[in-house]
Amino acid sequence: MENVDFSDVKFPIPQPSTFVDLSPSVHWAQLHQTVKLSEYPLRRIYDFELLYVQEGHITAYLGEEEYALSTGELLFIGAGVSHRLAIGSNRALFLGIHFDFFDEFDIVADQDIIVKHPDADQAEFCREAVISGQERYSTHPIFVPSPEIVRSMERVIGEFESGKPGYEAVCKGMMIDILIQLLRSRTMESFRIASARERLQPVIDWIEGHYSQDCSNQTLAKLMNLHEDYLGKQFKNVFNISLNKFVQSIRHREAKRLLRQSDRTVEQIGQTVGYDDIHYFSRTFRRWEGMSPREYRRMGQFY
């Protein structure tokens, strides 16, 4: 087999398609259970996998990206993408389905799915269907599937494990429905996020104007008449940053501005941006900037 350098290959490999082109075959489908904290080794696969968290928590590392998933979320793992999973709960249940989009991958044993040698031919990897006018599945690999999609996944697993005559065709039909419904849910999710952004904008506006005050989740939730946990989760889902880190980012931005443009002491600047403890301010500033406030101020004098 020809040696191939994959350093310049962006996995998964896209294939421009339409919904009519979809002809997925299922290679493996199972309900998987773990009963202890564990971590799976780094690997790549030739096909694609849908991994639904039915119970528990996992951290998924896809390439250089890290994703935290909890009950009710689904992970799309692309063909050729280096990945590993860390189970973050003592008990976890997953629905797992390995498949391709174009009935292009034949396996003899389950292990054929996993890439075992570094010189695999690029042509062996399954291609991702990229539907015209739709976002790629792999662009944002986390989905929150509807109960109907989850039930369809359970039926695929049941049909695959039964091995009854015609199960391949039944699985194909259900997978087409699942793949289409996932893209439809992504479109609906975009509208939901846009609406959530609008609802959460007052939170951002308040922080921008009051970053020197108490900006804890509890305080912000009370101001917005929302449950603290709900506000924190919604903010993270919509803006991909926690409330606490967002507040820190605003305070850090203002601290840098004052260090450059004012003669106030570091202690005064820390208090101005919301840190009464100078040591905590310095530690937080260093985490964000890689240097202390005083070092940042001295550096600014040379520019």
Collapsing DSSP to helix, strand or coil, 46 comes out as coil
Contact yes or no for 206/223 (Cβ under 8 A): yes
Residue 1: pLDDT band (50, 70, 90) is very low
Q: State the alpha helices, DSSP H only, in the chain.
A: 147-162, 167-210, 217-224, 228-239, 243-261, 266-272, 278-289, 293-300
pLDDT at 190: 61
Structure tokens, 100: 């391709």
Contacts of 3 (CB under 8 A, 6+ apart): 119
Residue 191: pLDDT band (50, 70, 90) is low
Q: What is the mean pLDDT of residues 59-74?
A: 88
Q: How far is CA 79 from the centre of its chain?
A: 17
Where is average pLDDT lowest: 11-25, 190-204, 207-221? Answer: 190-204
In whole angstroms, how far apart are CA 182 and each of 177, 179, 236?
A: 9, 5, 21
What does DSSP assign to residue 94? E
Structure tokens, 154: 């359970």
Whole-angstrom distance, CA of residue 207 vs CA of residue 246: 9
Shortest CA distance to 127 belongs to which of 138, 117, 135? Answer: 138
pLDDT tens per residue across span 107-126? 888 889 999 887 788 899 99
Contact yes or no for 184/137 (Cβ under 8 A): no
Q: Is it the case that residue 299 has pLDDT exceeding 60?
A: yes
Shortest CA distance to 203 belongs to which of 188, 225, 185? Answer: 225
Whole-angstrom distance, CA of residue 126 vs CA of residue 19: 17
Contact yes or no for 274/215 (Cβ under 8 A): yes
Average pLDDT over the chain reads 89
Whole-angstrom distance, CA of residue 74 vs CA of residue 94: 9
Structure tokens, 27: 């290679």
Does the reported pTM lie above 0.85?
no
pLDDT tens per residue across span 71-110? 888 999 999 999 999 988 778 899 999 999 999 998 888 8
Residue 302: pLDDT band (50, 70, 90) is very low
Whole-angstrom distance, CA of residue 217 vs CA of residue 221: 6
